[in-house]
Chain A
């Protein structure tokens, strides 16, 4: 059983705090590191992979510090976010080189196995420079898997992939987790994370915002207060009906927008009640739009709670 322990880790660059006092433990299975862009996910992964020193706190792999410790790479596989590889090498040459750099006893067999795992044997003799984004991602994965690491770290692995490639990679990551590896990947898309990860860690603005399985995280996100902008045939009458219902906390007549701004505290009840109330009062709904559905606002709610 292999675990990465992040203990009260902070990282700042000049006077910008990228990661702020984060503690988490990443164990076997698939963990999703979820957060908006710029939340500090990459910074965290770089610190876990030994490519960035912490400003405070420690990152250890089974009790051993990862910073300034080249030996940890026997047990860590890293799939970086950046695309750059050695474009003049073929997929096979690149994977084989990675196996050789690990000093494996049979690098050829290891490279072959890794390429089979990511289903890239058919294109292995083409130069990396000719690969599509999804193929590059899979070869990067093969390079990270050649030495059968106990820990696999993936930085935004789904970025820029088409839906089919995405499904393939999801299946692959799930399989890695089912094999008992400690797999951590970052993403800014909740749907992506909940389809793959059994455990989710949420970071927002450098802080550890939430932790748990995807049901718990989803509930946190659904149950937060929602703000809706509503236009109807009679806004004032609708406002009266809505405020009488316990699913709302406030209703505001927005004169400038010529619409209602409704603060819903019980989301499931609100979405059920709204059409019913409108029907009862003979009102027509012209527009119902969530006004704070951006991921940013979802995440900032999580941080505030």
Chain B
């Protein structure tokens, strides 16, 4: 059964993601973004420049890495931690299909909780002036998918996926990426910025990494992480007490 998506796994994963308290967590950040946008609009200070600043720093810089982390690890880590994944794994299913299904559900979550709110926040603040709202919407979606692919892999290879993911997002991308320009070449966030910059009007968004490099790395990282996670899932070991 080598299909792209297993509907049963997708349905259970989706329910696990949006059914419980985690949904509130997922809603909190985009709610803050939208509220912020509404306040800026209402007070009349929002224009294209302000919108770019908010979307760049908050949507792409904070919302997407954090949601990517919560969603990417959330679609697979809890099942591995509590052992319930055994009911999925003890089936004649291709392991890559399982990982791909998880990634597709994660993508849907990113679209709903990150990309869509970003687009709407952009539209509220400055319409689609300079193409910013749409560009950031697409940038957050594509960047979010890459984050999820990496964090799903982390969820499969380590029990400390959330911590490892936080270290990557906070220490590497934000801290080191902030001081060491070279580190930005290996930053999902910067690749997404570069993609956003290409989609927005010329000069509206400043990119630190060239578009060709960014797109290539986004694709390579997403595909490689997903393929490798599928392989690692084949060897997932359930013994934890001995």
Give A residues with C-beta under 8 Å from B: 13, 16, 18, 38, 40, 42-43, 46, 49, 51-53, 68, 70-74, 76-78, 80, 82, 84-86, 88-89, 94, 97-98, 100-103, 143-144
Choose, from B36-44, B90-98, B137-145, B162-170, the stretch at the interface.
B90-98
| Residues on the A chain within 8 Å of B93, using CB | 70, 101
Whether the pair A40, B12 counts as a contact (CB closer than 8 A) is no
| Residues on the A chain within 8 Å of B1, using CB | 103
Give B residues with C-beta under 8 Å from A: 1, 6-9, 11-12, 15-16, 19-20, 82-84, 86-95, 234-239, 241-242
Whether the pair B94, A70 counts as a contact (CB closer than 8 A) is yes
Chain A residue at minimum C-beta to C-beta distance from B84? A84
| Residues on the A chain within 8 Å of B92, using CB | 70-74, 102-103
Of B6, B91, B242, which is within 8 A of A43 by CB? Answer: B242
| Bound Cα distance A287, B184 (Å) | 79
Chain A residue at minimum C-beta to C-beta distance from B7? A100
Whether the pair A101, B242 counts as a contact (CB closer than 8 A) is no
| Bound Cα distance A72, B12 (Å) | 24
Q: A16-B242, A86-B84, A86-B87 are in contact. List 10 more A-B contacts (CB 8 A).
A: A40-B242, A46-B238, A51-B239, A53-B237, A80-B83, A82-B86, A98-B91, A100-B8, A102-B92, A144-B90
A78 and B242 in contact (CB under 8 A), knowing A53-B235, A88-B15? no
| Bound Cα distance A14, B101 (Å) | 34
| Residues on the A chain within 8 Å of B89, using CB | 51
Whether the pair B12, A52 counts as a contact (CB closer than 8 A) is no
Chain B residue at minimum C-beta to C-beta distance from A97? B8
| Bound Cα distance A82, B84 (Å) | 8
| Bound Cα distance A216, B32 (Å) | 70
In the assembled complex, 7 residue pairs joining A and B whose CB atoms fall closer than 8 Å, in A order, are: A46-B239, A53-B235, A71-B92, A84-B82, A86-B12, A88-B20, A97-B11
Whether the pair B12, A97 counts as a contact (CB closer than 8 A) is yes
Of B9, B15, B20, which is within 8 A of A101 by CB? Answer: B9
| Bound Cα distance A103, B19 (Å) | 26
Whether the pair B8, A89 counts as a contact (CB closer than 8 A) is no
Mostly, the A contact residues are mixed
Whether the pair B242, A88 counts as a contact (CB closer than 8 A) is no
| Bound Cα distance A73, B6 (Å) | 17
A86 and B16 in contact (CB under 8 A), knowing A78-B90, A101-B88, A103-B1? yes
Chain B residue at minimum C-beta to C-beta distance from A47? B239
Whether the pair B12, A68 counts as a contact (CB closer than 8 A) is no
Of A38, A42, A74, A103, which is within 8 A of B239 by CB? Answer: A42
Of B12, B83, B87, B95, which is within 8 A of A143 by CB? Answer: B87
Chain A residue at minimum C-beta to C-beta distance from B81? A84
| Residues on the A chain within 8 Å of B91, using CB | 70, 73, 98, 101-102
Whether the pair B87, A98 counts as a contact (CB closer than 8 A) is yes
Ranked 8 nearest A-B pairs via Cβ: A84-B82, A82-B83, A51-B238, A84-B84, A101-B91, A100-B8, A78-B90, A73-B92
| Bound Cα distance A37, B144 (Å) | 45
| Residues on the B chain within 8 Å of A18, using CB | 239, 242
Chain A residue at minimum C-beta to C-beta distance from B241? A42
| Bound Cα distance A301, B90 (Å) | 37
| Bound Cα distance A82, B86 (Å) | 10
Nearest CB of chain B from residue A267's CB, rounded to whole Å: 33
| Bound Cα distance A101, B92 (Å) | 8
| Residues on the B chain within 8 Å of A88, using CB | 15-16, 19-20
| Bound Cα distance A101, B88 (Å) | 7
**Residue with the highest number of chain B CB atoms closer than 10 Å, among A43, A98, A101, A144:** A101
| Bound Cα distance A85, B90 (Å) | 13
| Residues on the A chain within 8 Å of B238, using CB | 46, 51-52, 80
| Bound Cα distance A52, B88 (Å) | 16
| Bound Cα distance A204, B237 (Å) | 22
**Residue with the highest number of chain B CB atoms closer than 10 Å, among A38, A40, A82:** A82
Whether the pair B12, A43 counts as a contact (CB closer than 8 A) is no
| Residues on the A chain within 8 Å of B236, using CB | 51
Whether the pair A84, B16 counts as a contact (CB closer than 8 A) is no
| Residues on the A chain within 8 Å of B88, using CB | 101
| Residues on the B chain within 8 Å of A76, using CB | 90
| Residues on the B chain within 8 Å of A82, using CB | 82-84, 86
Whether the pair A89, B12 counts as a contact (CB closer than 8 A) is yes
